[in-house]
Amino acid sequence: MLQTRAVTSDQPRASRRYGGEVPLQNSTDRILTTHTGSLPRTPELTALLVARDQGAAYDERALREETAAVLARTVDAQLDVGLDVVNDGEVPRVGFSTYIRERLSGFGGTGHRKPTLDSVKFPEYAAFQARQIDEGATFARVWDTPVAQGFLEYDPERAGIREDLDGFARELDRNAAAGRTPAGTFLSAATPGIVATTLLLDEQNPHYRDHREYVFALAEQLRVEYEEIAARGHVLQLDAPDLAMERVIHFGDASLDEFLAAVDLHVDALNHALRNIPKEQTRLHVCYGNWQGPHQDDVPVDVLLPHLYRAEVGAFSIPFGNPRHAHEFPAFRDLPLPEDAVLVPGVIDVTTNYLEHPQLVANRIVEAAEAVGDPTRVVAGTDCGLATFASYEFVASDVAWAKLRALVEGAEIASRRLFG
């Protein structure tokens, strides 16, 4: 039987600080909606971001102007569609994790990430995927990424985080002046673990002897970005696909036990970086990789949960809107959420243009709430971002926004069923 949990008066709703003293994560009377971060960019913005990422010539003024224009439309569109907890769509970033190399010193050269186990074990699938790629297109650096060659240092004045925060604040203020204020806001940031497994450590780096030292060095530097976001009153989303996806990439040759030991290490580093931020102001996004593939080697969620629960965060964003993991909600009956934690289940698949019916979305939300045992501890979300890397979008822009509308409509149906 579902139980509801009282919320004390010191847990305020969203305020002009875009989240109050304790930013809003959930509701006591309905299912709130959010998403996972990245939203569709324009072709013009994508081209500019990719050119910068590739080290090619680009018009810096045009990039600033297009970023501002797309940011305005993205914030407006989230409010138009009815989302409750919104963000900047990661509009200024070329990729959810690789943007970090623009913010920390010490990266250079080119590394090569391992192929996915999907591509290794299903060569015909790999060939099929290759045929879908436009050979004349230019892509962001996702697999041939820079490596850590020197000392890592994060300078918030140089990194651009304050510029991003100011831009988002301007759009929130503009909408607030028109009487449009979201229930809450969030901004995402890459975790030490996903940076370490994406922007690999150069074996010749004289400053960090091994993966552990590298991950903790990243944690100490990324802490600056996390605290900048938290200081503005937003929920801080920590993007951590390394805690699931990297089982089939960076740790594809390792045993399951070795991978889980790495998960624990990465969680320890993340906790170190979060030490000055209230737990209730954070949410951890874990995913299995934002591509349409077999995913047969994904680690079951019940295996991961005990390790994920070690993270000192207030909410867990986990994908269940896809065919490989949609059956796993019962895991929360046997492995309950940590006390006061919120679940943000992905109930929208972001790798296909198939549009979910709102009734299906509602069914998934209700199943999540029943498994958790308390609908006030559930916020409906998406499996992952809808534009994780510029130039690597898999869902058409108009379909992406239709999916978010289905999410909102499904949450409304689920709210009637769960709250009456």
What average pLDDT score do residues 172-192 get?
Answer: 97
* The residue to which tokens 């979201």 are assigned: 182
Q: Is residue 347 part of a domain?
A: yes
140, two tokens = 């962001």
Stretch among 22-26, 49-53, 415-419 having the lowest mean pLDDT: 22-26
Strands 282-285 and 147-154 turn out to be unpaired
* Residue spans of alpha helices (H) in 92-184: 117-121, 123-131, 156-159, 161-177
What average pLDDT score do residues 119-124 get?
Answer: 96
Beta strand spans in 292-400 (E): 315-319, 342-346
User: What is the per-residue pLDDT across 74-117, written as a single tens digit (0 to 9) for each?
Assistant: 999 999 999 999 999 999 999 999 999 999 999 999 999 999 99
Residue type, 54: Q
pLDDT at 158: 77
* DSSP code at position 179: T
Within 10 A of 76 (CB to CB), how many other CB atoms are there? 15
Strands 342-346 and 184-190 turn out to be unpaired
pLDDT at 21: 52
User: What is the per-residue pLDDT across 249-285, written as a single tens digit (0 to 9) for each?
Assistant: 999 999 999 999 999 999 999 999 999 999 999 999 9
Distance in angstroms (rounded) separating the CA atoms of residues 285 and 307 = 14
Q: Is residue 37 part of a domain?
A: no
What average pLDDT score do residues 318-340 get?
Answer: 98
What average pLDDT score do residues 315-331 get?
Answer: 98
Within 10 A of 21 (CB to CB), how many other CB atoms are there? 12
Greater confidence (122 vs 391) lies with 122
Q: How many structural domains is the chain composed of?
A: 1
Distances in whole angstroms, Cα of residue 411 to Cα of each of 319, 365, 390, 401: 16, 7, 29, 15
Distance in angstroms (rounded) separating the CA atoms of residues 302 and 364 = 18
Using a pLDDT cut of 90, give the percent of the chain over it: 86
pLDDT band for 24, please (50, 70, 90 cuts).
Answer: confident
- Asked whether the beta carbons of 311 and 284 are under 8 A apart, the reply is yes
pTM: 0.93
Q: Is residue 11 part of a domain?
A: no
111, two tokens = 């590394």
pLDDT at 159: 75
CA angle 186, 222, 35 (to 5 degrees): 25
CA angle 66, 67, 73 (to 5 degrees): 90
What average pLDDT score do residues 172-186 get?
Answer: 97
User: What is the per-residue pLDDT across 285-322, written as a single tens digit (0 to 9) for each?
Assistant: 999 999 999 999 999 999 999 999 999 999 999 999 99
User: What is the per-residue pLDDT across 259-268, written as a single tens digit (0 to 9) for each?
Assistant: 999 999 999 9
Q: Which residues touch 124 (CB under 8 Å, ≥6 apart)? A: none
Residue 14 pLDDT greater than 50, yes or no? no
Domain range enclosing 170: 43-419
CA atoms within a 13 Å half-sphere pointing along the CA-CB vector of 230? 22
Residue type, 121: K
Residue 15 pLDDT greater than 50, yes or no? no
Q: Is residue 269 part of a domain?
A: yes
Distances in whole angstroms, Cα of residue 100 to Cα of each of 94, 156, 225: 10, 12, 10
Residue 13 pLDDT greater than 50, yes or no? no
pLDDT at 279: 96
pLDDT at 130: 87
Residue 384 pLDDT greater than 60, yes or no? yes
Residue 70 pLDDT greater than 70, yes or no? yes
**b/e map 258-275, b = 16+ CB within 10 Å:** ebbebbebbbbbbeebbe
Q: Is residue 261 part of a domain?
A: yes
Q: Is residue 80 part of a domain?
A: yes
Phi/psi at 152 (5° precision): -90, 130
Q: Is residue 194 part of a domain?
A: yes
CA angle 148, 150, 154 (to 5 degrees): 85
Q: Is residue 18 part of a domain?
A: no
Stretch among 9-18, 36-45, 190-199 having the lowest mean pLDDT: 9-18
31, two tokens = 């299912």
What is the C-alpha radius of gyration for the chain, rounded to an integer number of angstroms?
A: 20
Beta pairing partners, 154: 104
* The residue to which tokens 């079951």 are assigned: 300
CATH number at residue 394: 3.20.20.210
Strands 104-108 and 147-154 turn out to be antiparallel
What average pLDDT score do residues 383-402 get?
Answer: 94
pLDDT at 136: 63
Distance in angstroms (rounded) separating the CA atoms of residues 288 and 162 = 30
pLDDT band for 22, please (50, 70, 90 cuts).
Answer: low
Residue 410 pLDDT greater than 90, yes or no? yes
Within 10 A of 132 (CB to CB), how many other CB atoms are there? 8
pLDDT at 326: 98
